[in-house]
Amino acid sequence: MSTEMKKAKEIIDGLIRNQQNSTDKLQNIEKQLSDLKTAQRLIEESQQAPAVVDYAPESELKSFVKDDGSIQWSTEAKHVESSSGRRVTVEEAGLLDTEANCSDWHKELKEIARDRHLARLIMPDPYTPKLDARLYRHLNKAPRAILPAIQKAFNDQAGTGAEFIPDQFISDLYQEFQVPKRLRGLLNRVEAERNTLLIPRLNRGGRPYIKGEITVDSPLSQYTTSTASTGQKTINIKGLACSYVIDDAFAEDSAIAALPILSQQIVQDIEDAFEDCMINGDTAATHQDTIASWNIRNRWGASGLGGSADHRRAFVGMRAAANDQANLDVSGTASGVTASEILGGLSSLGELGAGNIVMVCSPEFMLKHLMGLTEVQTLDVFGPQASIVNGQIASVFGVPVVMSRFMSADLASTGLYTGSGSQTGYLLFNTSSWYLYERRGIVLEQQKDISAGAIRLVATYRAVMGSPDQAGIKNVYNGSDYNS
């Protein structure tokens, strides 16, 4: 038992005896409270006292402690007086560059510091968290002869220890919460073997007529004929690509497994871009939204937006399709959606609104507008065993509700992004009318450039979303202009 614990035990035993034997238990209550606080402090100090490793006699280490209590880390010039009274300049080695080893701890300290210095010397942007942490742990195990000076020197200020004290590093990488991306999984997948697909379409069948009666032996009249209407849809497969250039020294020295994390992230980048285009894409020469300044939910950064290679130009998204079909409604109740407005959106799809419908909404619309409707059922009502679509969080009039972070909350009252506005909305689409035409799934490739010391990480995906329906068929509805 440590000295602090013994003292604390004596104080507490005395307080207990006083309470057991005293007739007036509140007598000298201030003194009793003071003693109790003292005991508590002693207990805390005994529990928090750092473990100190004892080494062989190391009195020589005290020579590296300056008069002001700081540590002399490296060689310094000092002025001393000789026996004859003359003032001369001499150089004295410091703790890290002296040739002599005062102890095993001192020897190991110099080895760690040398490895760390060498690693940082050959890196263009010095970053050695593993060696920093190792050095910090070793310094905390300093012998008693020098530990107080090290603790005093390490006040996290430049020149007095900050160079050797790493900030606390957590090996679990934090990523900001995002609404999961599941929209791509709702579409029927069609595997493409060519870059261009020609999809034959039967628009409608023939028209039957009343069968006539034969009244003569040699009938001359024939059945009235009709012609089936056919069409063809052309789908051009496009691709998305994302590329990282990684310093090989960073990959080797990172305190966390950087390459697996970045490999996972670059695939997620492709998923994000594809879902963004599913909702906000447009192939018109002039995009319907001002995408040059549209950094939706701060996902894409503030520069390089809106060019010809912007991912939101890969194919027509559902918002643009609804606009092309004149099925964009901004006349609803901005302060709160009503059940009749949702029913109106379903009815605008005609017979396509009778089944296989999914609602996609923004998180803001879900929380502010949908959750308050009595017609909305959440998972706790319809039960986890019900037949639900991937990512479904609620149901309204039997229609699954799925959230997407790419349904934004910064639209203008027109339902388009113009650079200002705080409106949001929802989509209703028929899953039987929209397909995922996929030439090749997401492929991740890695290559090292030994001439530059770089690792290039590339993810590519060749697919588009499209509808084989003929022009004019309303298969998606966009309800917008709701307060976010």
- The domain limits of the chain are 3-48, 102-169, 239-483
Per-residue pLDDT for 287 more than 70? yes
Name the band, by pLDDT with cuts 50, 70 and 90, for residue 53.
very low
Type and span of the H or E element at 11:
helix 3-21
Residue 376: pLDDT over 50: yes
The alpha-carbon radius of gyration of the chain (Å, integer) is 37
Letter string b/e over residues 345-360, b meaning 16 or more CB atoms within 10 A of that residue's CB: bbebbeebbeeebbbb
Average pLDDT of the chain? 81
- Phi and psi at residue 266, in whole multiples of 5°? -70, -35
Reduced to 3 states (helix: H, G, I; strand: E, B; else coil), residue 197 is: strand
DSSP designation for 152: H
Show the DSSP H helices in 239-350 as ranges.
Answer: 248-253, 258-280, 318-324, 339-347
Q: What is the pLDDT of residue 256?
A: 65
Identify the burial level of 321 via C-beta atoms within 10 angstroms of its C-beta, where 0-12 means exposed, 13-18 middle and 19 or more buried: buried
Mean pLDDT of 348-354: 91
pLDDT tens digits for 207-228? 888 887 777 777 767 778 888 8
pLDDT at 56 over 50: no
Mean pLDDT on 173-178: 51
Q: SS3 for 190?
A: strand
The rounded distance, in Å, linking the Cα atoms of 172 and 159 is 30
Q: Mean pLDDT over residues 313-320, rounded?
A: 96
Looking at per-residue confidence, does 177 or 431 come out higher?
Answer: 431
pLDDT band with cut points at 50, 70 and 90 for residue 279: very high
Winning range, highest mean pLDDT, from 49-63, 240-254, 261-275, 367-381: 261-275
- Polymer length of the chain: 484
Compute the 3-state secondary structure of the chain and give helix, strand, coil in percent, each to the nearest 5.
Answer: 35, 20, 45
pLDDT at res. 169: 44
CA distance 319 to 340: 21
- This model's pTM is above 0.75: no
Highest mean pLDDT among 121-125, 172-176, 347-351: 347-351
- Which of 479, 478, 484 lies closest to 408, judged by CA? 484
pLDDT of residue 307: 94
pLDDT of residue 430: 94
Q: Which helix (H) or strand (E) holds 117?
A: helix 104-121
Asked if 155 contacts 66 with a C-beta cutoff of 8 angstroms, the reply is no
Q: Alpha carbon 184 to chain centroid distance?
A: 19
**Do residues 160 and 130 touch, judged by C-beta distance below 8 A?**
no
